[in-house]
């Protein structure tokens, strides 16, 4: 994907004096200054079903799209709905349930759906383009983590493994319910402002998104793997062979940057691609939210697993 975007990175269309965060920064959303006290935060996210229930899929897609606004320190205000639907294979009644689920989460976030676009497509796909507001002086980015900062994560890992198990009809009902609960939970964490850096744990897994933070901040990190929260039942599913292809790619990409010998199962779990995972935050003091999993350290970017 980096190679595909390369022609845009140095193009004049991706540069502007008021563009505070854009394609040049590996961040969660774009930020464009309106005036001294306000900036727009913009993001887009959509995906194919990760659970069987259409209403829950809609809820998860909405919460996932909102996450990139929250992690930048912003407040979502409007959303455009994006739909691709195989009208010859799936009924519009199912789509209605997806849309109801998405609307319920947007309403709980105080975000107004102002329109959208739909196409006929081979696979059902659903999501949102979301716009928010943020104070330009209070933007939280992936850069800025400092040696000595505490690393916390706000949700347990394992949703990628659970989604794979659901597709293979191998997931116990109680594990699926727990995963849906965490995937629909909004990432509107109070107290984020004042932390040095933050990102949400999604497609690249915890290790991949941590690596992006370390590269942007030019620091290293130490992770105590025994402290990392895990959804109940996930290790059993992992041992049963439920591991997404995307997570395998994450693992191959991040492995050269890992230091220390640890349980291979835990490394695989830490690389698991998440859907609306929690926030990974670097704070100067232990915050009132999340689970403490490690520290930021001096040195070139590297992840030491303890």
Say what the pLDDT of residue 16 is. 78
Percentages (nearest 5) of helix, strand, coil residues in the chain? 35, 25, 35
Q: How many residues does the chain have?
A: 306
User: Is 91 exposed, middle or buried, given 0-12, 13-18 or 19+ CB atoms closer than 10 A?
Assistant: exposed
The segments of the chain whose pLDDT lies below 70 read 1-10, 14, 23, 25-26
CB atoms within 10 A of CB 99: 21
Q: What is the structure's pLDDT at 19?
A: 80
CA angle at residue 23 from 219 to 79, to 5 degrees?
A: 110
Give the tokens for residue 22.
């854009």
Q: Which residue has the tokens 């330009």?
A: 136
Can you tell me whether residue 240 is helix, strand or coil? coil
**Per-residue model confidence as pLDDT tens digits over 242-269:** 998 889 999 999 999 999 877 888 999 9
Q: Can you give the pLDDT at residue 5?
A: 61
Beta strands in the chain (DSSP E): 19-21, 30-35, 38-47, 75-85, 112-120, 125-134, 150-153, 197-200, 220-223, 258-259, 279-283, 291-297, 303-305
Asked if residue 201 lies in contact with residue 272, where contact means CB atoms within 8 angstroms, the answer is no
How many separate helices (H) and strands (E) can be counted in the chain? Answer: 9, 13
At residue 9, the pLDDT reads 66
Contacts of 143 (CB under 8 A, 6+ apart): 25, 27, 197, 213, 216, 217
Residue that the structure tokens 């932390």 belong to: 195
Per residue in 2-56, pLDDT (tens digit) is: 566 666 666 777 677 878 877 676 677 889 999 989 999 999 999 999 998 999 9
Distance CA 303, CA 219 (A): 10
Domain architecture of the chain: domains with CATH = 2-138 (3.30.1330.10), 150-305 (3.90.650.10)
Distance of CA 218 to the CA centre of its chain: 21
Which pair of structure tokens corresponds to residue 80?
């455009």
The pLDDT of residue 3 is: 61
């Amino acid at each position: 994907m980096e190679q595909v975007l390369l022609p845009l990175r140095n193009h004049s269309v991706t540069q502007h004096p008021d563009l505070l965060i854009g394609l040049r920064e590996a961040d969660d959303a774009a930020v464009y200054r309106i005036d001294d006290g306000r900036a727009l935060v913009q993001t887009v996210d959509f995906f194919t079903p990760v659970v069987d229930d259409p209403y829950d899929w809609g809820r998860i897609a909405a919460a996932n799209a909102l996450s990139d606004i929250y992690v930048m320190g912003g407040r979502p205000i409007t959303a455009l709905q994006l739909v691709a639907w195989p009208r010859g294979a799936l009924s519009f009644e199912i789509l209605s349930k997806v849309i109801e689920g998405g609307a319920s989460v947007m309403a709980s976030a105080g975000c107004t759906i102002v329109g959208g676009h739909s196409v006929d497509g081979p696979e059902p796909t659903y999501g949102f383009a979301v716009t928010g507001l943020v104070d330009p002086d209070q933007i939280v980015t992936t850069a800025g983590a400092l040696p000595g900062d505490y690393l916390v994560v706000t949700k347990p890992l394992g949703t990628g493994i659970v989604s794979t198990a659901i597709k293979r009809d191998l997931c116990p009902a109680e594990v699926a319910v727990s995963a849906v609960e965490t995937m629909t939970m909004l990432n509107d964490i109070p107290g984020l402002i004042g932390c040095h850096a933050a990102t949400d744990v999604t497609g690249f897994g915890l290790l991949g998104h941590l690596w992006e933070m370390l590269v942007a901040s030019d620091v290293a990190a130490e992770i105590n793997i025994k402290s990392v929260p895990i959804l109940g039942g996930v290790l059993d599913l992992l041992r049963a062979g439920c591991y997404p292809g995307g997570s395998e790619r994450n693992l191959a990409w991040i492995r050269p940057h890992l230091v220390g010998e640890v349980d291979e199962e835990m490394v695989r779990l830490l690389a698991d691609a998440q859907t609306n995972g929690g926030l990974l935050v670097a704070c100067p003091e232990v915050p009132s939210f999340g689970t403490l999993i490690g520290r930021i350290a001096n040195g070139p970017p590297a992840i030491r697993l303890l």
